[in-house]
Structure 1
Amino acid sequence: MQEIIFIFYARVFYTFSTVFNKVMNIVFIFAGKRIPNIRKMSELRKLKITEMNRLTVEEFKEVDKLPLVVVLDEVRSLHNIGAVFRTSDAFLVNCIYLCGITATPPHSEMHKTALGAEYTVDWKYFKCTQDAVNELHNDGYTVLAIEQCAGSTLLDELVLEKGRKYAIVLGNEVKGVQQEVVDMCDGCIEIPQFGTKHSLNVSVTAGIMIWEFAHKLFKLR
């Protein structure tokens, strides 16, 4: 008896889900959209490295980079520094400015996350982050601190201008961007958050910011 009841409800659920899917497809078709079908597992295949058509180191050095510089203000974690290099390589960041206690290549711990990107992405070292910001301003960059500030611009509201060069400043894992550096910046960008924690990991923040700037700057090319 229990098996019969189970089979009955299973058929009812299957019929309902099938009808619901068809109805929603009709609704989306009238709205000019269609629910995408999920690919069957047999159609999915991981690409081999040789199929990804990545640039060689020599090609990377010659290709036009994005007008974007990433500034690391007193970042202490070699893991985070290496991850920023790797993300910067992926999205053609022009240069990374390493400031204060931020370590510089070569370093075995940094290499674990950079995976060689510390040799492809250009970088400079500054003892003082303020000197880095001064140089960027002199070179015509708009410098933006990635920090939670009064009057900051939310990332989803950020608008970039064609022909303008940008630099983003990422701060220390504990203290964030120094207030003295924030004071020198042209603005402050904040990533909206909805949970209980007050901040994101530096390398996570870098990944979000670099991707957001990259896809907007690529569209402006």
Structure 2
Amino acid sequence: MSTQLRPTDVKRLNRHWRRRTEGRIALIVESVTQPFNLGSILRTSATFGVETLWLTGNTIDPGHPQVGKTALGTDQKLRLRRVRTTTEAIKAAHDDGYRVVAVELATDAAPLHEAPLEGDICLAVGAEDHGCSPALLNGADALTYIPQIGRVGSLNVAVATAVAIAETRGREWRQGPAQPDAPAAADAPSVD
């Protein structure tokens, strides 16, 4: 019978995945105004080891109390940078060595599972109601979208961000361990 992992086992499991991770992920958040959405994006980012978030446009202040209710303190584990314009955010990401990949239902966008997500990636997401701005779409190195087969036109920005971050990390992990001496399955946490 399966049981939940104990806190020590969770730490061991997380350490195992950190050892298998080489690529850096960053995020540009453009004009996300709803506190729940930004809080969810912050929490997901901290969970998957996103290093830097550039907040631009009229993105809500991460210090807003309702953002904190969702983020649950995870914003303290992230490097948050407020920049005036989207162009400045893209330049900062490029200066830090990231390839910028905007997540948007747009012409010339590749399906997420085919997008160029290798190496150091800065994903970029846009506003809840109108998505990424023309400046973000034109300044990105690549565009991607999340294929959907249901009868809903799009995902919530926080959910779309989580899917894109998980695919970026998962792609790296599926390619194999970053270190030749990564722990064997026998080293994975045990449940007693």
Query: Shorter-chain TM-score: what band?
Result: 0.7 to 0.9
When structure 1 is superposed on structure 2, of 107-116 and 152-161 the one drifting more is 152-161
Greater helix share, 1 or 2?
1
User: C-alpha offsets along residues 99-136 of structure 1, whole Å, 9 cap, x if unaligned?
Assistant: 12112332321111111111111111112112101222
Measured after TM superposition, the shift of residue 158 of structure 1 is 2.5
| Residue 132 of structure 2 is aligned to residue 177 of structure 1 | yes
Q: Match for 2:41: what amino acid?
A: V
When structure 1 is superposed on structure 2, of 139-148 and 99-108 the one drifting more is 99-108
Q: Match for 1:174: what amino acid?
A: D
| Residue 66 of structure 2 is aligned to residue 127 of structure 1 | no
Change (3 A) 1:127 1:159: closer
Measured after TM superposition, the shift of residue 45 of structure 1 is 2.2
User: C-alpha offsets along residues 156-204 of structure 1, whole Å, 9 cap, x if unaligned?
Assistant: 222433xx32111111000100012101111100100112222100111
The counterpart of 1:152, out of the listed 101, 109, 124, is 109
TM-score when scaled to structure 1? 0.70
| Residue 93 of structure 2 is aligned to residue 136 of structure 1 | yes
SS in 2 for 1:70: strand
Please list, as runs of the form range in 1=range in 2, the aligned pairs for 1:1-20 lying within 5 A after superposition.
none
Asked which structure has the greater CA Rg, the reply is 1
SS in 2 for 1:207: helix
Give structure 1 stretches of 5+ with no counterpart: 1-42
Question: Do the aligned partners of 2:86 and 2:135 also contact (CA within 8 Å) in 1?
Answer: no
Tell me how far apart the structure 1 counterparts of residues 32 and 12 of structure 2 sit (CA, whole Å): 29
Tell me how far apart the structure 1 counterparts of residues 37 and 23 of structure 2 sit (CA, whole Å): 21
Change (3 A) 1:159 1:134: closer
**Residue 46 (structure 2) aligns with:** 89
**Residue 10 (structure 2) aligns with:** 52
| Residue 28 of structure 2 is aligned to residue 71 of structure 1 | yes
Runs of 4+ residues deviating >6 angstroms: none
Tell me how far apart the structure 1 counterparts of residues 36 and 9 of structure 2 sit (CA, whole Å): 28
When structure 1 is superposed on structure 2, of 43-52 and 128-137 the one drifting more is 43-52
The counterpart of 1:197, out of the listed 152, 155, 163, is 152
Tell me how far apart the structure 2 counterparts of residues 54 and 126 of structure 1 sit (CA, whole Å): 37
Question: Do the aligned partners of 1:160 and 1:216 also contact (CA within 8 Å) in 2?
Answer: yes
Tell me how far apart the structure 1 counterparts of residues 6 and 84 of structure 2 sit (CA, whole Å): 42
Question: Do the aligned partners of 2:111 and 2:146 also contact (CA within 8 Å) in 1?
Answer: yes
Give structure 2 stretches of 5+ with no counterpart: 179-192
TM-score when scaled to structure 2? 0.80
Percent of aligned positions that are identical = 29
Measured after TM superposition, the shift of residue 66 of structure 1 is 4.2
Tell me how far apart the structure 1 counterparts of residues 23 and 36 of structure 2 sit (CA, whole Å): 24
Tell me how far apart the structure 2 counterparts of residues 131 and 177 of structure 1 sit (CA, whole Å): 15
The counterpart of 1:110, out of the listed 64, 67, 71, is 67
